[in-house]
């Protein structure tokens, strides 16, 4: 039993080592593990506990404690950028609905039609789509509901990222932040009932491509800042980040852009185990915007990601409740 405990404990130790690397290094390998820090820590704790049950040793006990500490720290980090508690709804003006989804570029065109139907019926004011190719044959009918867009032929020769709006784009720009993929940052400024809001559709490379994500996010931060400097107004950022809020690069981006998360971010990947998965698709907002609701879409429409629907309010931060 002691030998078996040692073997199992070694497996737990290696997983703990991979998860804890983020605390001493910003290397992309550790960034890859950081997205599932909580899930990985739970697995490591279970493995270490099994080693302890087989042979009650101080080392096995320490492994259990280390795994639990990493998991708890990951859980607390989820709240680091959480929005302030919003005021009750009666103090807010009407809401804005935002839909974001990576529909998977090699999804079937039949599913593309279903996604187009969902977009049209969603009631969303602004829609962010990543890997938009399956929508190609359906653009004309989507345009009836969403006549204003970037991507899929609008300022691009690609149909990768796309941004769709019911209202005119006061300004729209397509940027390339990645040395691998082009046209994966879309910036738009839209008047929403007399209030100017900026929108950024983001699609990052997967984290295991060396330091590409760090390069992308640095450029995206600069592009968003420059755009906001010209078009004043709070920003909503949405898209497929291929990484959770636990990763160092995403945390730096959210901090530098002064964005906020909802009270809880729904898990969006993997779709076959979403209840224990990770939130790697995000919608972020900046002051004075607040989430009223952020939910995962009810189905994937054949994609390998779940999409997100958000209801967002412009909160008057000068108000107090109850009224003074």
For residue range 84-96, what is the model confidence (pLDDT) as tens digits?
876 666 555 568 9
- Please give the average per-residue pLDDT across 290-306, as a whole number: 95
What Å distances lie between residue 187 and 84, 231, 239, CA to CA? 26, 11, 12
CA end-to-end span of the chain, whole Å? 69
Name the percent of the chain lying above pLDDT 90: 77
In the prediction, which pLDDT does 262 show? Answer: 96
For the segment 63-83, the average pLDDT, to the nearest whole number, is: 94
Q: Which pLDDT value is given to residue 242? A: 95
> Which of 3-12, 81-90, 185-194, 240-249 is least confident?
81-90
Tell me the two tokens of residue 323.
């009224």
Is the model's pLDDT at 76 over the cut of 70?
Answer: yes
Average pLDDT over residues 177-183: 92
Query: What does the pLDDT read at residue 90?
Result: 54
* Contact by Cβ (8 Å): 132, 162: yes
Arithmetic mean of pLDDT, 229-237: 94
Ranges assigned E (strand) in 166-272: 169-175, 185-192, 195-203, 235-240, 259-260
Which pairing describes strands 96-102 and 126-130: parallel, antiparallel, or unpaired? parallel
Is the pLDDT confidence value at 134 over 50?
Answer: yes
Please report the pLDDT score of residue 243 as a whole number: 94
**What value, to the nearest 5°, has the Cα angle with vertex 275 and ends 243 and 60?**
80
Taking a C-beta distance cutoff of 8 angstroms, is the pair 249, 243 a contact?
yes
Specify the range with the lowest mean pLDDT, choosing from 84-88, 172-176, 178-182, 190-194. 84-88
Give the pLDDT score at 30: 78
Strands 195-203 and 235-240: parallel
- Going by C-alpha positions, the residue among 47, 79, 74 that lies closest to residue 60 is 47
Strands (E), 145-226: 148-150, 162-165, 169-175, 185-192, 195-203
DSSP letter at 205 equals: P
- Mean pLDDT across the chain: 91
Average pLDDT over residues 87-112: 83
Per-residue pLDDT for 275 more than 90?
no
Domains and CATH numbers, the chain: 2-77 (no CATH), 89-314 (3.60.10.10)
Residue 1 has a pLDDT of: 83
Contact assessment for residue 298 and residue 252, using Cβ atoms and an 8 Å cutoff: no
69: tokens are 């500490």
8-state DSSP, 151? B
Q: What is the pLDDT of residue 209?
A: 73
Q: Which of 89-98, 273-282, 297-306 has the highest mean pLDDT?
A: 297-306
**What is the structure's pLDDT at 323?**
47
pTM passes above 0.85: yes
Give the integer Cα–Cα distance in Å for 108 and 119: 16
Residues 299-318 have a mean pLDDT of 90
């Amino acid at each position: 039993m002691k030998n078996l405990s040692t073997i199992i404990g070694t497996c737990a130790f290696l997983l703990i080592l991979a998860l804890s690397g983020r605390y001493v290094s910003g290397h992309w390998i550790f960034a890859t593990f950081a997205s599932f820090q909580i899930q990985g820590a739970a697995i490591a704790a279970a493995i270490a506990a099994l080693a302890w049950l087989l042979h009650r040793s101080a080392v096995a006990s320490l492994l259990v404690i280390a795994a639990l500490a990493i998991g708890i720290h990951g859980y607390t980090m989820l709240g680091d950028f959480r929005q302030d508690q919003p005021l009750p709804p009666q103090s807010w003006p009407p809401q804005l609905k935002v839909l974001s989804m990576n529909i998977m570029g090699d999804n079937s065109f039949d599913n593309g039609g279903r996604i187009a139907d969902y977009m049209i019926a969603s009631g969303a004011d602004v829609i962010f789509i990543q890997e938009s190719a399956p929508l190609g044959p359906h653009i004309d009918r989507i345009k009836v509901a969403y006549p204003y867009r970037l991507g899929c032929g609008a300022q691009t020769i690609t149909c990768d990222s796309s941004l769709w709006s019911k209202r005119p784009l006061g300004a729209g720009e397509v940027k390339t932040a990645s040395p691998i993929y082009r046209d994966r940052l879309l910036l738009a400024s839209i008047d929403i009932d007399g209030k100017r809001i900026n929108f950024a559709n983001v699609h990052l490379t997967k984290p295991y491509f060396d330091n590409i994500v760090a390069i992308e996010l640095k450029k995206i931060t600069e592009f968003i800042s420059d755009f906001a400097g010209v078009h004043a107004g709070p920003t909503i950022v949405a898209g497929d980040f291929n990484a959770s809020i636990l990763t160092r690069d995403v945390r730096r981006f959210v901090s530098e852009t002064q964005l906020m998360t909802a009270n809880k971010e729904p898990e969006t990947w993997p779709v076959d185990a979403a209840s224990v998965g990770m939130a790697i698709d995000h919608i972020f907002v900046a002051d004075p915007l607040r989430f009223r609701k952020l939910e995962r879409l009810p189905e994937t429409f054949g994609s390998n990601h779940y999409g997100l629907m958000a209801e967002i309010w412009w909160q008057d931060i000068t108000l107090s409740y109850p009224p003074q």
